Amino acid sequence: MKIVFATNNAHKLSEVQQILGDKIQILSLNDIGCHVDIPETGSSLQENAHLKASYVFENYGYDCFADDTGLEVEALHGAPGVHSARYAEGTDHDSEANMRKLLKELDGVQNRKARFRTVIALIQHEGDSKICSREYEFEGIVNGRIDTQKHGTEGFGYDPLFIPDGYDESFAQLGEDVKNQISHRARAVKELCEFLTREE
């Protein structure tokens, strides 16, 4: 089975390919010649995932899935949430700037509870139809806390600050092998994989 993952984020692509193994062949946006920066203008993770998957399905005709992920911090009323990648003003996917802002916002705050949440939207053709589609949604959550300083060099995004429940090290210290077993994305992708392999 071939399916498009609507991303050119090499970190995400690598994570998902490792989780899925050789069960399903994943194509990136680059693989299908899509070089558009698909707008993520939704007000929720669900909306953004749907927007990206719909764009590929409608413009390129491939079965497609897309994800959106947010870090939700309890003391910040769920922020940065859908704005996680652009949390620091005037930036786009600047992890260092985002982490600096998060640490500043939580300076002196005792409640460090947080969670990572990934939502995946999958759009498939309905039977042999070229135009009719079915859409599905999968979600993965991992709870944890935000440390007071960065630890580790693996991973990306907020990984050096996030310590998952049941562990004493950050995602960036635990490394890809452990993270890909317990992470929010791993849980959502596992649901997706189980669904896709049932469909075969």
Q: Residue with structure tokens 């991992």? A: 142
Beta strands of the chain (E only): which ranges? Answer: 2-5, 25-27, 64-73, 80-81, 113-125, 133-146, 162-164
Q: Is there a contact between 113 and 40 (Cβ–Cβ < 8 Å)?
A: no
Q: Is there a contact between 3 and 65 (Cβ–Cβ < 8 Å)?
A: yes
The secondary element (H helix, E strand) that includes residue 191 is helix 184-199
147 as an active site residue: the answer is: no
What's the gap between Cα 185 and its chain centre? 6
Among 63, 67, 68, 159, which one carries the catalytic annotation? 68
Q: Is there a contact between 174 and 154 (Cβ–Cβ < 8 Å)?
A: yes
Show the CA angle centred on residue 151, arms to residues 174 and 108, nearest 5°: 125
Query: Which residues are known catalytic residues?
Result: 68
